[in-house]
Amino acid sequence: MPSTLSEVGGVERDGEVIPAMGRVRIAAGATARWGTLDGDEIVLDDGTRVPEADAAYLAPVQPSKIIAVHLTYRSRIEEYKARTPAHPSYFMKPPTTLNGHRGQLRRPAGTEFLNYEGELAVVIGRRMHGVAIEDALSYVEGYAVANDVGLHDFRHADRGSMLRVKGQDGFLPISPSVVPAGEFDPTSYELRTTLNGEVVQRATAADLIWGVAYQLADLSRLITLEPGDVILTGTPANSRPMAVGDVVAVEIDGLGRVESTVVDWDVDLTAAGDQPETSPNTLHVALAVPEDEAERMVERSKA
């Protein structure tokens, strides 16, 4: 983990380093550098100016952990024809999933169900444990736009863990900067995902079954959330696979956008472990095919 304020781009508050707000992080040679946007340029902390169009963005956060929620938008539950859960459930993504604006999403050779999931990302500002719902938002430092990418050819292999489905390198593009909590209302926003310029997901905060405050309070009962940790708050209906060459973008008014391009990854996966497979669960989750129909489709493909 970074050990100095300059490495994390943050500031110190009550002995804790909090995330940098409204600043961007880019790759400059072999190092990560922090700076601020100034028109069509990025001014790095040492005064160097970089054309924004040439910047290789990195994620503006360096969390100890990333936690994501399963079904939380009503439209998604309705799409799956699922029962509304009594309470939210969660999974984790490793920090190596982080990706920057205009980065690449690698689709491994022999796979086809690489799905986008537009989401609101919450960045924690101070250590949080056992916090009540009514106090939860006061622990938030800011918000960003995220794409919780998943490769559903491995749903059979993960057996519910989501590690290979959601945990591959670069599977979490995040918008260039974190917007301070005081400048964004997580109870009133519109989220849009576009694929090659066409809107494919659209939802508002009103579609959430459990809002940001509830999710944070729920998680903090048993898990200590640290400054910089990222909480992904779920995706609405119509998550679908992307093809090589597709350009996907997620945007939220007031937070900006994050854009990614899908590329082919010519990698040999046969040396060890489960291989990609189109399972009934793959079709159900990646394409929203009803579970019984997904079973029949897989059986027909084997006949």
Pairing of strands 31-38, 24-28: antiparallel
Mean pLDDT of 271-288: 95
pLDDT digits (tens, 9 = 90+) for 147-181: 999 999 999 999 889 999 999 999 999 999 999 99
**Is the pLDDT assigned to residue 101 strictly greater than 60?**
yes
Residue 114 exposed, middle or buried by CB count within 10 Å (0-12, 13-18, 19+): buried
Give the residue carrying structure tokens 């669960």: 281
Mean pLDDT of 85-114: 97
**Is the pLDDT assigned to residue 2 strictly greater than 50?**
no
pLDDT digits (tens, 9 = 90+) for 188-224: 999 999 999 999 999 999 999 999 999 999 999 999 9
Domain boundaries, the chain: 61-302
Please answer whether residues 162 and 251 qualify as being in contact, where contact means their C-beta atoms are separated by less than 8 angstroms.
no
- Identify the CATH homologous superfamily for domain 61-302: Fumarylacetoacetase-like, C-terminal domain (3.90.850.10)
**Is the pLDDT assigned to residue 75 strictly greater than 80?**
yes
Confidence tier at 14 by pLDDT (50, 70, 90): low
DSSP string, 99-130: E-TTEEEEEETT---EE--EEEEEEE-S-BSS
**What ranges in the chain are assigned the alpha helix state H?**
5-8, 74-80, 133-136, 155-158, 163-166, 212-220, 280-287, 291-302
Per-residue model confidence (pLDDT) at position 4: 33
Per-residue model confidence (pLDDT) at position 189: 97
Per-residue model confidence (pLDDT) at position 20: 53
Q: How far apart are CA 51 and CA 37, in angstroms?
A: 10
